[in-house]
Amino acid sequence: MVRYRFSEFTLSPQRRLLLRDGREVPLIPRYFDLLLLLIERRREAVHRREIFDRAWPDVIVSESALSQAVRTIRRTLGDDSREPRFIRTVSRHGYQFVHAEVIEEEDDASPPAAPAVAAVPPPALADEPLPLRWRRAARFAATGWSGASTGGAVAGIAAGTVGGLALALTPGSTAPIAIAPVLAVIGAGCGALGGAGVGAGLAFAEAAALAPRVFALACGGALGGGLVGAAVQWLARWGLDALVGLDVRVGGGLEGVAIGAAAGLAFALVTRRTEDGLTALRGRTRWPAALAIAAACGLAGLALTLAGRPLAGGTINAIANRAEGSRATLAPLSRLIGEPDFGPVSGAIFGFGEAATFGLGLAFGRLRRPRARA
């Protein structure tokens, strides 16, 4: 196996060591992989996507994590980004190792010529200065909400479309087929907002690391879901009263807290924390995790409806019953399961289904590895 010599440095893939004049230089494993990749591919600029796939294959990281890795490697090598000797930034593409003379030689895996300096691990998150930790957490929250929001919106569209079609096609229902796209739009909005709140809360809590991970993620999900839910609750009640004169009990804040906490708890239990990014599962491994998160959210929705806190379906039914001439009542669907009107059994089924669908969309959106920008 070869090792690489450049300037006063030697990089040994076999021993996973970076040496400077025979003395070991501390470099955490992912940064070592990144430096090795750039040296191996030194005749070309390596795209960010390839770097993420090689150095961060199993975690979600932001662009800032890659920039931080390159800054650390440059500082380790004594490089200057303005006049690079080793690593050049290729705008809107990636990075290239540019040192003119890289010598490949056989690595005999012998000990370093000089006594090695024990590698010093990077500071633990708990040892970071609090302002730095808050800034890092805020950056992760800003990038972590988008995938979860998209997943929540897709789940809301699916739930609204299926529910609308089922209602319109149920015998005895007077609801027109046009109710399906209307409910899809409502579902998309609620799902996107809920996903954004819970997703940002999870990302912030995981990056801030101010408490044990399970507790932190449960609290982060609850806080994000509760804030968005309370805002939607206020807006919906104000809008119904101002526009159509209806005073209907609309949920939001408590429901967001419960479902967000359930999502955070399940997410913490089915994923693992890594040292330099937010967790992501790859390929088929995402399905069991997503189903577990969906089940947890579904159980939270079931508990809410049993406690008399209906979700979107129950709220729409309540509005339809109060609005003169409305045909959006869910009573025809309730009669299919043996209830004369929308009752506790119907509410439980709808509540579990709505929350589980949201949880499934949230999970896939949150567990998605983002593509690097071109």
Report phi then psi at 78, rounded to 5. 70, 35
H/E segment holding residue 96: strand 94-97
pTM score of the predicted model: 0.66
Q: Tokens 């005749």 label which residue?
A: 43
Tokens standing for residue 188: 């998309």
d(CA 297, CA 360): 9
Structural domains of the chain, ranges and CATH numbers in brackets: 2-122 (1.10.10.10), 127-367 (no CATH)
pLDDT 10s digits, 352-369:
999 999 999 998 887 765
In terms of DSSP H, where are the helices of 170-252? 179-208, 213-244
Q: Are 314 and 305 in contact (CB under 8 A)?
A: yes
The residues with which 90 forms a beta bridge, in sequence order, are 94
pLDDT in tens, the chain (374 residues): 789 999 999 999 998 999 999 899 988 888 999 999 999 999 999 998 888 888 877 666 667 778 888 999 999 999 988 889 999 999 889 999 999 899 998 877 554 444 444 444 444 444 444 455 556 556 666 666 778 899 999 999 999 999 889 888 988 888 889 989 998 999 999 999 999 999 888 878 876 655 577 888 899 999 999 999 999 888 888 887 787 777 777 888 999 999 999 999 998 888 764 444 445 555 566 788 889 999 999 999 999 999 988 888 888 888 888 877 777 888 888 888 889 888 889 989 999 999 999 999 998 887 765 544 43
Q: How many helices (H) and strands (E) does the chain have?
A: 11, 10
The residues with which 23 forms a beta bridge, in sequence order, are 20
pLDDT 10s digits, 117-129:
444 444 444 444 4
Closest C-alpha among 93, 60, 57, 86 to residue 72: 86
